Amino acid sequence: MSIFLEKASEEQKKVIVSEFKNNYPIVIIAWAWSGKTTTIINKIWYSIEKWINPQEILAMSFSNKSAKEIKDRVQNKIWNKANWITCWTFHSIALNILKTNIPEFRKYKILDQEDDKKYIKKIYDKYFWPTIKDLKKEFKEWKIEEEEFMFLNSLISSLNDIQWCIARSKNTNENIYNVIFDKIVQKQENIAITRPLKYNTYDNILFSEEEYNIFIEKVVKFSKEVDLPKLFFENLKYTISTIKEYENNKKRDKYNSFDDLLVNIVKFLNKNDLVRKNIDKKYKYIYVDEFQDVNFIQFEFLKLINKDFNYLIVVWDWDQAIYSFRWCDSYYFTNMKNIYPNTRIFYLNDNYRSDWQIVAVANHLIKNNQFRYEKEMNNIKDIVNPPILLESNEEKHLFEKIVQKIKAINNFEETAILYRNNSHNLEIQKELIKNRIPFKVVWWQNILNKKYSKDIRAFLSILSSIDPISLERVLTVFPSVWKKTAETFIAEISGLKENENTLFDVWKEWQIDILAWHKTLNKLYEFMSNFFSNKKTLAETLNDFKSILEKDIDKKIKIDKIEYEKEILEEVINIILELYNNWNTIEEILEKITLDNLEEKEEHNVVTLSTIHRAKWLEWENVFIIKAYKNIFPWFQSMQSNFLLEEERNLFYVAITRAKNNLYFWIANYYFNWFEEKSIIQSMFIDEIFEYLE
């Protein structure tokens, strides 16, 4: 027997030894902690053992951590062939294909979420700020009542609204006008938007005149129904102008957002069938983990590179589908047999991690969802620790009890406190600090995305090209350089020489008088001059710039945090230099940082505080679920839609299945808000599992 089958369950063996057949995809429907990733890895090992070329294997995932885990675990067993396997995220492979086949694309930079928001905000402020300012002024001067102010203010698209419309259009392939109209209706009628329609082109932000006229007719009709004033139409005009200018400016400045990468790859492969065929032939065997998280544009990409040689294996657990806000769509879950008629389905039903009573609670909860494959999770462990529901009258005392329980457990590293939203962790943080219990908060943001780390990255970027966003960030780091000065300087620099590679090239070519702009900018010129004349290495140049940042840290950061911030800067520079030794160019370093979202160092012997979304791939011996209250969990807007309500239940299920041995639900009866007692009603999800709790 193959070593890859020795420890596998009967269910896992069926998957591992299943024969590859063209146009006969394999779907693995798996429970939480059923060994699905292990099964995928064993399938890869077994396939190579049976003489499948490892260079033809592509493992795709939605997170770099997951892709890296697959690569590392394969490498542990067959290290000599593991490097031939490609393990990438959807965005990474899309970028690789685009850069390999479109030379012009190599000049484009990828905007991370923060920079993307700043980029569009400049345009947004230009159109919307005068209206917002006038409205606030009228309210302040009592020219309009508070109720009217709130109503008029609600007509103005927020920056988040506009970003939401752009993201939905690109990820679902919907026409932008339909998306904007849906958002208008949502805001005015306070309803939740559930799932999108599909369109078959990949240029949905082109604003054709015909589509615009249809859109305006719909809007006029709706405005009459709800009696909307003139400001509504002004807002609409500004929204469309902001999106148009944003898209045009990105092309001019050679930027791509994360969403652009997938839209561009789908457009490119649809127009270039020879390239598509070559990629399809190169990667015959494609594995996709966490397939329940796929959205429309990702699936279109997958179909294009898996068309001629269809040896596809996907793993999903619809009960863990919790990312509809990223436009993940259950359509593929329910229609896999229609899309691929010869699909073979395997089940992994055994949970190897959690106590059997935790498994029972999860089973009982998730059966309340109607939109799912019927399956039953089996427990393997026979430890009996029933989940516990603990109550307190006042919420303040609840957090004190949680901390005392954590002290009694005395295993910080294997303890987590999970909650629905980040805003829910503040009280428990205070209590942990008061009791001197070490903890870490798991954010979406990592070490390379902190404020001063982003400054270092921006400086690195302007060493490689003229990057307006990074240049503005770097300029405003220097003392007394105001935002207006920076913007004017950037406008002049950008208009001088379009084809120059770097800021230093432009300075040198056009002999700009730096001192005429600002005397402190001479220091920046000196840093860059030393680097490009080879007087100083990259390490020395980054440390020169770091000295400017440290002065800012000394001024602005609280005394107890100064050393911490400086240590982070040091660590970030070390990460960059390590990457510089392994990669050829600064551009490649920046791409890797942006796409890979590199993990910071693990902290040990600390309690973990995390949202449930962020905890999805993690597990602990002891899990505390807090704030399971009505209108918080499930979130109040989800009650308007069965689809969203079931996703909230999926989220609760994910929280439950993070626990290996001990699971605690903590609820209070009331809390104080501005000296007023507010009653708390426990979550409907607690009601659904109440009989299983002790």
pLDDT of 199 over the 70 cut: no
CA distances (Å), 479 to each of 118, 136, 361, 475, 682, in order? 21, 32, 58, 9, 52
The CATH number of the domain where 25 resides is what?
3.40.50.300
Tens of pLDDT, residues 87-129: 888 998 999 999 999 988 888 888 888 889 989 998 998 888 8
- The mean per-residue pLDDT over the stretch 237-241 comes to 88
pLDDT of 471 over the 70 cut: yes
In a domain, 372, yes or no: yes
Domain boundary among 223, 253, 283: 253
Mean pLDDT lowest for which of 447-461, 577-591, 678-692? Answer: 577-591
Is there a single domain that holds both residue 121 and residue 234? yes
Higher pLDDT, 452 or 506: 452
Q: What is the pLDDT of residue 316?
A: 83
The SS3 of residue 406 is helix
Is there a single domain that holds both residue 583 and residue 564? yes
pLDDT of 81 over the 70 cut: no
Rounded CA-CA distance 45/75 in Å is 10
In a domain, 51, yes or no: yes
Q: What is the pLDDT of residue 673?
A: 62
Domain boundary among 290, 314, 348: 348
**pLDDT-derived band of residue 141, with 50, 70 and 90 as boundaries?**
low
In a domain, 2, yes or no: no
pLDDT of 584 over the 80 cut: no
Domain boundary among 253, 282, 297: 253
pLDDT of 358 over the 80 cut: yes
In a domain, 440, yes or no: yes
Is there a single domain that holds both residue 464 and residue 592? yes
Rounded CA-CA distance 258/262 in Å is 7
**pLDDT-derived band of residue 197, with 50, 70 and 90 as boundaries?**
very low
Mean pLDDT lowest for which of 279-293, 366-380, 474-488, 555-569? Answer: 555-569
As to burial, measured by CB atoms within 10 angstroms (0-12 exposed, 13-18 middle, 19+ buried), residue 130 is exposed
Tens of pLDDT, residues 661-686: 899 998 887 766 655 677 888 899 99
Q: What is the pLDDT of residue 194?
A: 46
Is there a single domain that holds both residue 128 and residue 181? yes
**pLDDT-derived band of residue 192, with 50, 70 and 90 as boundaries?**
very low
**pLDDT-derived band of residue 656, with 50, 70 and 90 as boundaries?**
very high
Higher pLDDT, 225 or 419: 419
H or E stretch covering 664: strand 659-673
Query: Range of 652's domain?
Result: 356-445+603-692
Rounded CA-CA distance 176/167 in Å is 10
Is there a single domain that holds both residue 397 and residue 514? no
Residue 672, strand partner residues: 677
Rounded CA-CA distance 223/38 in Å is 55
In a domain, 202, yes or no: yes
Q: What is the pLDDT of residue 512?
A: 63
Residues of the chain with pLDDT > 90: what percent?
Answer: 16
Residue 626, strand partner residues: 666
Helix axis angle for 10-17 and 36-49, nearest 10°, is 40
Is there a single domain that holds both residue 123 and residue 208? yes
The CATH number of the domain where 559 resides is what?
1.10.486
pLDDT of 597 over the 60 cut: no
In a domain, 681, yes or no: yes
Rounded CA-CA distance 311/255 in Å is 35
In the chain, the number of structural domains is 4
Rounded CA-CA distance 480/520 in Å is 8
pTM of the model: 0.85
Is there a single domain that holds both residue 121 and residue 207? yes
In a domain, 229, yes or no: yes
Is there a single domain that holds both residue 576 and residue 563? yes
pLDDT of 615 over the 50 cut: yes
583 Cβ contact list (under 8 Å, min separation 6): 589, 592
- The mean per-residue pLDDT over the stretch 153-164 comes to 80
Q: Look at residues 291, 175, 188, 165 and name the one whose alpha carbon lies nearest to residue 238.
A: 165
Residue type, 670: Y
Strands 388-394 and 676-679, by their bridges, are unpaired
Q: What is the pLDDT of residue 279?
A: 93
CA 36 to chain centre: 22
CA distances (Å), 47 to each of 16, 299, 302, 342, in order? 8, 24, 21, 21
Tens of pLDDT, residues 48-78: 887 788 889 898 888 777 777 777 777 666 6
Is there a single domain that holds both residue 249 and residue 280? no
Rounded CA-CA distance 272/280 in Å is 12
Tens of pLDDT, residues 258-309: 899 999 999 999 999 999 999 999 999 899 988 888 888 999 999 999 888 7
Q: What is the pLDDT of residue 444?
A: 55
Is there a single domain that holds both residue 466 and residue 546? yes
Rounded CA-CA distance 620/573 in Å is 32
Tens of pLDDT, residues 483-523: 777 777 777 776 665 555 677 777 766 666 655 566 777 78
- Determine contact, residues 415/607, Cβ cutoff 8 Å: yes
In a domain, 3, yes or no: no
At 155, give phi and psi (nearest 5°): -75, -20
Q: Which tokens go with 164?
A: 């939401």
- Determine contact, residues 598/446, Cβ cutoff 8 Å: yes
Rounded CA-CA distance 99/106 in Å is 5
Is there a single domain that holds both residue 460 and residue 536? yes
CA 640, 644, 650, 656 torsion-angle sign: negative
Is there a single domain that holds both residue 454 and residue 592? yes
Residue 637: DSSP 8-state: G
List helix spans (H) across 372-466.
Answer: 395-409, 426-434, 451-462
Strands 659-673 and 676-679, by their bridges, are antiparallel
Mean pLDDT lowest for which of 15-29, 92-106, 134-148? Answer: 134-148
At 379, give phi and psi (nearest 5°): -90, 145
